[in-house]
Amino acid sequence: MLQEPTQTKLQSTYTSRRRFAVVAGVFVFITIAVVVSRMGGSLVGSLALALVIAGLLSWLAFRERRLFLQLEMLETAQRQETSKLSGRLDRFYQDPAIALVEFDPVNLLIKRAGDGFSGILGVSESASCMGKRLDEVLTVDLVRLELLVEQIRCNPDAPGRSLSCRDVDGRELKLYVSGYYLEDQQTIEAVLSPMPESYEAYAESQQTADDLERFRKGMVRREQRILELKAEVNALLADAHKEARYQIDSQTSDLKVRSMSVSRSDMR
């Protein structure tokens, strides 16, 4: 749909050119009539011939200008639509929730990367991905990526595929990749989205690993405290000139030497 100012301007141009065609037809009609009459023809025949020729030329001129105007209107509409789509695409590339990337299908060089693409890989800026190979940025198997690229080129309607890769921290990611081959630009524009089950499994395993690490550290602190307490008991017994209750070896393991049941008098 054309914008209102542009449509009004084109309509004004169309009206002015139609008037020009009418004026040109009248001028041609008068010129032909005068020429034929001077060549000795009858006035009625001269007028009829001039009228037919002038009408034909006017129709041809009017048709040519009308087609030219329609072409201008279509080109203007195309420019406006292209500008609108370009602005919308720019917003998509700037949206951190959408992972878009455009790359060359032959050498796999990245031509454009969105904020969402750098976000899922943990890259600070999308500009840092420009000019790099897609397989190197994704840390993905080259053969599998080339098969996916060939599928997008040959069958754009085919469903996407999963692709296992790694982010900058070495964390494994499973992405769902779908794309479209842009023939005019000879590039592929692809959308990458993390597969939910992959992220949930990673979050679960990461939480479990964190819990195990906290438990391990807690056990270490507990064992250290137990050894400290046993050493204190042995020290108290030594001060009381009594036999040590626990034996602590060089590997920080302890052996109970005597029974845990002791009287209060022994602890004094």
pLDDT > 70? residue 266: no
Can you tell me which residue has the tokens 């700037």? 94
Q: How far apart are CA 224 and CA 114, in angstroms?
A: 51
Residue 153: the pLDDT is: 85
Say yes or no to pLDDT of 200 above 60.
Answer: no
Q: What is the mean pLDDT of residues 6-30?
A: 61
pLDDT digits (tens, 9 = 90+) for 235-257: 877 777 777 777 765 444 444 44
What is the residue-averaged pLDDT of the chain? Answer: 72
Half-sphere exposure of 176 (CA within 13 A, CB side): 10
Return the pLDDT at 205: 60
Task: Give the whole-angstrom CA distance, residue 126 versus residue 128.
Answer: 5
Q: What integer pLDDT is reported at residue 261 of this predicted model?
A: 37
pLDDT band at 138 (very low <50, low <70, confident <90, very high): confident
Which ranges of 95-195 would DSSP assign to H, the alpha helix?
Answer: 115-121, 134-138, 142-154
DSSP 177: E
Q: Would the pTM count as exceeding 0.85? A: no
Is residue 159 over pLDDT 50?
yes
pLDDT of residue 204: 62
Q: What is the pLDDT of residue 256?
A: 44
If residue 166 lies in a helix (H) or strand (E), which one and from where to where?
strand 161-166
Residue 46 pLDDT greater than 70, yes or no: no
Paired tokens of 45: 């025949």
Question: Cβ atoms within 10 A of the Cβ of 97, count?
Answer: 10
Q: Specify whether the CB–CB gap between 188 and 181 falls below 8 A.
A: yes
Helix axes 43-94, 4-38, angle to 10 degrees: 160
For 167-178, what is the mean pLDDT? 79
Q: Residue 11: its pLDDT value, please? A: 56
Look up residue 84 and give its two tokens.
């609108």
> Region 8-21: what's the mean pLDDT?
59
Residue 141 has pLDDT above 60, yes or no: yes
Q: Is the pLDDT of residue 1 over 50?
A: no
Residue 30 has pLDDT above 60, yes or no: yes
